[in-house]
Amino acid sequence: MRRFSSSVLLVAICLLPVGIGSGTSAHSHAKAALDGALANTAAAQAQVLEDYFSRARSIDLLTANNPAFQDFYQLPGSRAAKVRRGGPVLDKANRALGYLEELFPDSIGEACFIDRAGPENARMVRGVRATLPELSPDESGASFFAPTFALRSGQVYQARPYISPDTNEWVISNSTLMPTSDGTRRAIVHFEVTIESFRKVAASLGSQFDISVVDAGTGRVVIDSRRPQRVGEPLGVPGDQRFGRVVAAGVARGSISVDGRPVAFQRLQRQAHNANDWYVLATARAPIGPLYGVSGWSVALVVVALALLVLSGVSFLVQHQRLVA
C-beta pairs of 244-253 under 8 Å, 24+ apart in sequence: 244/219, 246/214, 246/219, 246/279, 246/281, 247/214, 247/215, 247/216, 247/217, 247/218, 247/219, 247/279, 248/219, 253/39, 253/42, 253/43
How buried is 306 (Cβ within 10 angstroms: 0-12 exposed, 13-18 middle, 19+ buried)? Answer: middle
Would you say 237 and 227 are in contact if contact means Cβ atoms under 8 Å apart?
yes
pLDDT tens digits along 97-110: 999 888 887 888 89
Would you say 157 and 146 are in contact if contact means Cβ atoms under 8 Å apart?
no
pLDDT at 23 exceeding the cut of 80: no
CA 306 to each of CA 1, 9, 133, 171, 310: distance values in angstroms, whole numbers, following the listed order: 20, 10, 83, 60, 6
Taking the C-alpha atoms of residue 101 and residue 262, their distance in angstroms, rounded to an integer, is 38
pLDDT at 39 exceeding the cut of 80: yes
Would you say 175 and 148 are in contact if contact means Cβ atoms under 8 Å apart?
yes
Taking the C-alpha atoms of residue 285 and residue 46, their distance in angstroms, rounded to an integer, is 19
Residue 88 CB neighbours (<10 A) = 9
Residue 172 CB neighbours (<10 A) = 25
What is the structure's pLDDT at 24?
Answer: 57
The whole-chain average pLDDT of the chain stands at 83
Strand (E) or helix (H) holding 226: none
Please report which confidence band the pLDDT of residue 250 belongs to, taking 50, 70 and 90 as the band edges: confident
Would you say 284 and 265 are in contact if contact means Cβ atoms under 8 Å apart?
no
pLDDT tens digits along 257-270: 888 889 999 999 99
pLDDT, average across residues 275-284: 95
- What pTM does this model have? 0.82
pLDDT tens digits along 193-223: 999 998 988 887 656 899 999 999 999 999 9
What is the structure's pLDDT at 208?
Answer: 83
Taking the C-alpha atoms of residue 313 and residue 123, their distance in angstroms, rounded to an integer, is 85
Strand (E) or helix (H) holding 302: helix 296-324
Taking the C-alpha atoms of residue 180 and residue 55, their distance in angstroms, rounded to an integer, is 23
